Structure 1
Amino acid sequence: MTPQNPTNPAHRRLLALRAENEAAREDMAAQAPRFRHLAEPGAAPRVIVSDNLFQTPPVIAELMVKLLAPRAGWRVLEPSVGLGRLVTALHGYNVEVTAVDVSQECCDEVLHLRWIPGRLTVCREDFLTVPVTRWPAFDAVLMNPPFRRGADIKHTRHALAMLKPGGRLVGLCYGGTRQEAALRPLAATWRRLPAASFASEGTRADVVLFSIG
């Protein structure tokens, strides 16, 4: 057998492909519990379009809204609306909501929610590409952003740039060292949720509930 030659371009490419495949297998293994849960009868939502779509459990959504304490007439931004768990928790409050999501399927799903016409605006966009001047500054932000690779930090910072002075942001983030360093100094409250709070949604990630403002 010909000895392996790590200086050969073709061999280096094969090694790189093997590394990519191993990383993909690790990612699939991490996602497997979530998809096993969604395979259970009645568990799957009508659309699942992202391997980073972990919805807010309803009890946590209600807790977040209570922490936000929305006032009548507020304009609220929900920058990663997903299937609308946080928007649903806001239903019944006299607020106007602008909901954003990169997925057309998610936007279509949220448009099925029974909101008073004119109180809910849904925009299909990558939130991180939305200029901070797109809309007048918001009174509040309610968010469960993507966690992968520090996206929760980026989304939170971008949302803060759209908040009025004196406004309030209530959000979730991954309970990691990067989030601790980047977001906790900004937070008025910082609460690590009980273990497996998101198990019903297919992930056992450590999650922090925090508020700013």
Structure 2
Amino acid sequence: MQISTEVLNVLSRCRAEGNFLFLADQLDRSIYVKTNKVLEAAGGKWNRKGQAHIFTADAAERIEQIILTGSVDIPRDLFNFFPTPENLVTDMVLRAEPAAGERVLEPEFGDGRILKALKLAAPDALITGIELNDERFLAVKNDSVLSTGVELVHTDFLGYQPDETFDVIVMNPPFLKRSDVKQVMHAIAMLAKRGRLQAILSAGVLFREDTLTKALRERVKQLGGQISPLPDDTFRESGTKVKTARLEIDLRR
């Protein structure tokens, strides 16, 4: 079952307490029927006494899965790592235009494919990659292409505080629990005066109304950037139905 943006917006405003999910708004009949149909298909059962839909597991996690995928199907992964499709990597790097001598960053570099594309596009740039996961960090550290000419930092990006700003940042962060929004906000603070940022986020960034997501949209607007939806099948080759959006900032304009 694919879910409309109207219903996803309603779900993003719900309140979860353990297995209980409470609708945040008084909905008109038509949107309530659509929302209730989705919740029931996702495993939620209406409880009149509790005035909530009850799930057999954590309600917040189940709703997060639905918002990320736009479907009631249970995803096979927690969205901590899905490789960026090669054609999208190429396009992001081309748009970011890294150049020789510029400071370039990729947070949460995963399997290193974006780092490789950055190094290929600008071999004389000063490239830094951040990764918290032990296995992925070691794999990239031992990679013949990336073991030299790239500074690899084994840490949590949200705790990373560089001494200097970056001219180019290209990123595809984890999505769960607003990790993508948090990491992009952190990255924006590191942009140089003429910096460029290319980021992939959950499509929820386009409609969610929580304080953090609204703050990101406002910040992007202030900087003259844009957030636009990507096609639904963008990450199909990576084994996920997750709906995504592209965020672009170019401070040279």
Q: What is the TM-score of this pair, normalised by structure 1? A: 0.73
Please name the residue that 1:79 is paired with.
Answer: 107
| TM-superposed deviation, 1:127 | 0.6
Secondary structure (helix, strand or coil) at the match of 2:57 reads: helix
Matches within 5 A, 1:55-134: 55-92=83-120, 93-94=122-123, 95-115=125-145, 118-131=148-161, 134=162
Secondary structure (helix, strand or coil) at the match of 1:86 reads: helix
Please name the residue that 1:155 is paired with.
Answer: 183
Residue segments in structure 2 that go unaligned for 5+ positions in a row: 1-17, 21-53, 66-72
| TM-superposed deviation, 1:181 | 6.3
Give the conservation status (yes or no) of the 8 Å contact 2:79–2:175.
Answer: no
Equivalent in 193, 199, 216 of residue 182 of structure 1: 216
| TM-superposed deviation, 1:192 | 1.5
Q: How many residues align?
A: 180
Aligned counterparts of 1:163 and 1:126: Cα–Cα separation in 2: 18
| TM-superposed deviation, 1:113 | 3.0
Give identity over the alignment, percent.
30
Please name the residue that 2:242 is paired with.
Answer: 205
Residue segments in structure 1 that go unaligned for 5+ positions in a row: 1-15, 35-49
Please name the residue that 1:23 is paired with.
Answer: 58
Aligned counterparts of 1:51 and 1:206: Cα–Cα separation in 2: 11
Aligned counterparts of 1:195 and 1:98: Cα–Cα separation in 2: 30
Q: What is the TM-score of this pair, normalised by structure 2? A: 0.63
Structure showing greater relative contact order (alpha-carbon pairs closer than 8 Å, 6 or more residues apart) = 1
Please name the residue that 2:36 is paired with.
Answer: none
Instruction: Tell me if 1:191 matches 2:252.
Output: no
| TM-superposed deviation, 1:31 | 2.8
Residue identity matched to 1:79: P
Secondary structure (helix, strand or coil) at the match of 2:163 reads: coil
| TM-superposed deviation, 1:191 | 3.0
Give the conservation status (yes or no) of the 8 Å contact 1:57–1:85.
Answer: no
Give the conservation status (yes or no) of the 8 Å contact 2:106–2:115.
Answer: yes
Residue identity matched to 1:22: A
Give the conservation status (yes or no) of the 8 Å contact 1:145–1:152.
Answer: yes
Aligned counterparts of 1:67 and 1:172: Cα–Cα separation in 2: 13
- Describe the shift of the 1:30–1:168 C-alpha distance in structure 2 as closer, same or farther (beyond 3 A): same
Please name the residue that 1:10 is paired with.
Answer: none
- Describe the shift of the 1:112–1:21 C-alpha distance in structure 2 as closer, same or farther (beyond 3 A): farther
- Describe the shift of the 1:96–1:72 C-alpha distance in structure 2 as closer, same or farther (beyond 3 A): same
